[in-house]
Amino acid sequence: MAKTGQPVPLVTSLPRRRFLRSSVGIACLGVFHLLSPSSAFATFDPSSGDPASGSRIDWDDGRLIQLEEGQTASCTSLVSGQMYCVVVYNLSQHDRNVELTITWSNQQPPATLIVPGTTAGEGNASLILISGSDTSTISISITQGNGGKLECWLISTSMPTNFQGLESKELPADGSAYHLPKQLIYHSVMNSGWYHLTIINKQTQSFVIQVSSQQLIIFVVNPVEHPNLNLLALGSVQEGKQYLLQMPASGEQPQYSNALIQGKGEQLIWFGASSHQDLENTIISLQSLYLPNSDDSIIIPETIKGGLICRPLGDVQ
């Protein structure tokens, strides 16, 4: 049977850790399928799982869509080696929970994610993480009897390709502070050298996601006493590898989250996954720590006070 994701408390007293090496203090919601070599790449035929009634949405561009009862949205253009995140907001009236069915493999049963109801659509996003190395296709459906309405879009370093209803901007590495409202996606190419990322929220809690080609980092800024994150990881996606949770360490200012990024020409993406109100208070800043005229080899520090060391997944032993 498919597993159902429910919000769970996050651990708020995590010690600072080296990038990718420590277990993240979160109970992941959903399904972790470790695939055998013979089924490492699942070819899913979306036509084999049509709902009994309703309409099908071509979602190959990953654009913002509104999904209703009886509808299925299918993306058949996932690329091997790329990480993807489906962002889901509940737009239903009267705080109604919505059961979302996710199909990604003909060898694995569909997974289920309960998207919590919110007042006036002002809740946090639910997240679905999947790797293009596991499948080229993902479908999301609201089956008959579940009702409700969801707002969804698909994010990677190359998606969406259609930004209708969303906004995309380059994040300058100039150290200035920029607002990060809901549905705004920032992007920046990390050239060779070091960068410092700062995310600030002095009024409320906010979730901010950083996406690279092979990994996501979930920053929890100014966390409440018992923050909830509704997340479903599919296939081979694992915490501590394909995604990380980053919370303020004990003794640090919780309103600030920092990361030191080593650039190697890769594009990074940032977006907010909280309510419209919480993201209105969220600030993001990227600063280049460029060292001119230096041929010295880069030494990776063991730890960094006040932040995470972010570097390409393949560089970490």
CA–CA separation, 94 vs 148, rounded Å?
10
pTM reported for the whole predicted model: 0.78
Q: State whether the Cα torsion 160-164-170-176 is positive or negative.
A: negative
300: how many CB neighbours lie within 10 A of its CB? 12
**CA 72, CA 90: separation in Å to the nearest integer?**
16
The reported pLDDT for the residue numbered 224 is 86
What ranges do the domains of the chain cover? 4-315
What local confidence, expressed as pLDDT, does residue 249 receive? 78
pLDDT at residue number 122: 80
Give the whole-angstrom CA distance, residue 84 versus residue 154: 7
Q: Splitting the chain (317 residues) into consecutive groups of 10 residues, what average pLDDT does each group show?
A: 40 33 32 33 43 73 97 98 97 90 96 89 92 98 92 97 96 97 97 94 95 96 87 97 89 89 94 94 94 55 51 44
Find out whether 235 and 130 touch, Cβ atoms under 8 Å: yes
Q: Residue 253: what pLDDT?
A: 87
* Dist CA 233 CA 34 (whole Å): 11
Residue 183's pLDDT is: 95
Q: What's the confidence (pLDDT) of residue 220? A: 95
Say if CB 68 and CB 152 are below 8 A apart. Answer: no
Q: Collapse the DSSP code of 231 into the 3-class scheme (helix H, G, I; strand E, B; otherwise coil) and give the result.
A: strand
Any idea what DSSP says for residue 204?
S
Q: How far apart are CA 288 and CA 173, in angstroms?
A: 5
Which contiguous run of DSSP H or E holds residue 279? helix 276-279
Q: Which two tokens stand for residue 163?
A: 């930004």
Contact between 230 and 113 (Cβ < 8 Å)? yes
Find, among 234, 236, 227, 215, the residue nearest to 310 by Cα: 215
Can you give the pLDDT at residue 310?
63
Cis peptide before 160 (omega within 30 of 0): yes
Output phi, psi for 25, to 5 deg.
-80, 65
